């Protein structure tokens, strides 16, 4: 099953993350949690010395990965997100690159991660190229890991004003927020892909030992799993 859900964000045409006020609030709304703990533990477990964080956004995870002795590269196409990331404490420990996966390929990285459902922003047309670029960025045996929302959980059915409306004061004013989904033209598309489809895509791109979990703590995948957590190795096959 492949399906696309589009989120409408008023006033944010083009780069959906270009709004400075939205970006300044991003880390508050998306604080480090089990997801960051998972990626950090993975980097430690494989003793990663070089890490690429694709779609690094504000760089909260990227900076946390940048422990002494490690090379960490944060890549993002949003100038606003990357600009914010570059201004944060600890930013000097990271190499920030304005771009997408196609610039990331030196073939010597131990780990490539993509958090915050970034891979859901990649269109079906670009997906094989992105996976191929991440493969090329990794050394043989290097690890790719990312998460996506599980389409079988049909989370979009709860993306309506009744179930998602919140109101609060922020540093940039009073914020009223809700989610809507639309099936047609809007500004931010999220591409939902099943565990089976992504596994096949990874194998086609030259990854092996694809492992999929239904959560951050090795949970099995079920129809109710909201998140799919992938891990695979760069195999020896080149496309």
Q: Which residues here bind ligand SAM, judged by CB under 6 A?
A: 17, 30, 54-57, 61, 76-78, 81, 100-101, 115-118, 121-122
Tokens of 24: 């300044």
CA distance 53 to 83: 16
DSSP state of 43: H
Nearer to ligand SAM, 39 or 207 (CB): 39
Please identify, using beta-carbon distances, which residue of 64 and 210 lies nearer to ligand SAM.
64
CA distance 160 to 166: 12
CB of 204 to ligand SAM, least distance (A): 19
Question: 150-181: b or e for each residue (b if 16 or more CB lie within 10 Å)?
Answer: bbbbebbeebeeeeeeeeeeeeeeeeeeebeb
Q: Contact 114/53 with Cβ under 8 angstroms?
A: yes
Nearer to ligand SAM, 113 or 153 (CB): 113
CB of 235 to ligand SAM, least distance (A): 23
Cβ 88 to ligand SAM shortest distance, Å: 13
Residue 209 dihedral angles phi and psi, to the nearest 5°: 50, 45
Strand partners, 111: 51, 143
Minimum distance from residue 86 beta carbon to ligand SAM (Å): 13
Please tell me the chain's helix, strand, coil percentages from 3-state DSSP, rounded to the nearest 5.
35, 30, 35
Least distance to ligand SAM, CB of residue 79, Å: 9
CB atoms under 10 Å from CB of 20, counted, come to 12
Question: Can you say how many angstroms the Cα of residue 43 is from the centroid of all Cα atoms in its chain?
Answer: 16
Rounded to a whole number of angstroms, the minimum distance from the CB of residue 236 to ligand SAM is 26
Nearer to ligand SAM, 89 or 220 (CB): 89
């Amino acid at each position: 099953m492949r399906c696309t859900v589009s989120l409408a964000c008023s006033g944010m045409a083009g780069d959906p993350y270009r709004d400075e006020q939205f970006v300044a609030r991003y880390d508050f709304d998306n604080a480090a949690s089990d997801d960051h703990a998972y990626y950090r533990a993975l980097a430690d477990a494989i003793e990663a010395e070089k890490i690429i964080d694709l779609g690094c956004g504000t760089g909260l995870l990227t900076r946390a990965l940048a422990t002494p002795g490690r090379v960490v590269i944060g890549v993002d196409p949003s100038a606003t997100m990357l600009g914010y990331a570059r201004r944060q404490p600890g930013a000097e420990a990271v190499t920030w690159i304005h771009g997408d996966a196609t610039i990331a390929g030196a073939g010597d990285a131990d780990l490539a991660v993509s958090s915050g459902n970034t891979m859901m922003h990649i269109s079906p047309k670009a997906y094989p190229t992105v996976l191929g670029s991440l493969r090329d960025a990794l050394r043989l045996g290097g690890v790719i890991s990312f998460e996506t929302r599980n389409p079988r959980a049909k989370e979009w059915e709860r993306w309506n004003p009744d179930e998602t409306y919140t109101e609060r004061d922020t540093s940039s004013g009073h914020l009223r927020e809700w989610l809507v989904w639309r099936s047609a033209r809007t500004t931010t598309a999220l591409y939902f892909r099943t565990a089976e489809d992504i596994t096949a895509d990874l194998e086609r791109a030259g990854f092996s030992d694809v492992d999929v979990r239904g959560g951050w703590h090795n949970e099995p995948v079920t129809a109710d799993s909201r998140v799919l957590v992938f891990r695979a190795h760069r195999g020896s096959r080149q496309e």
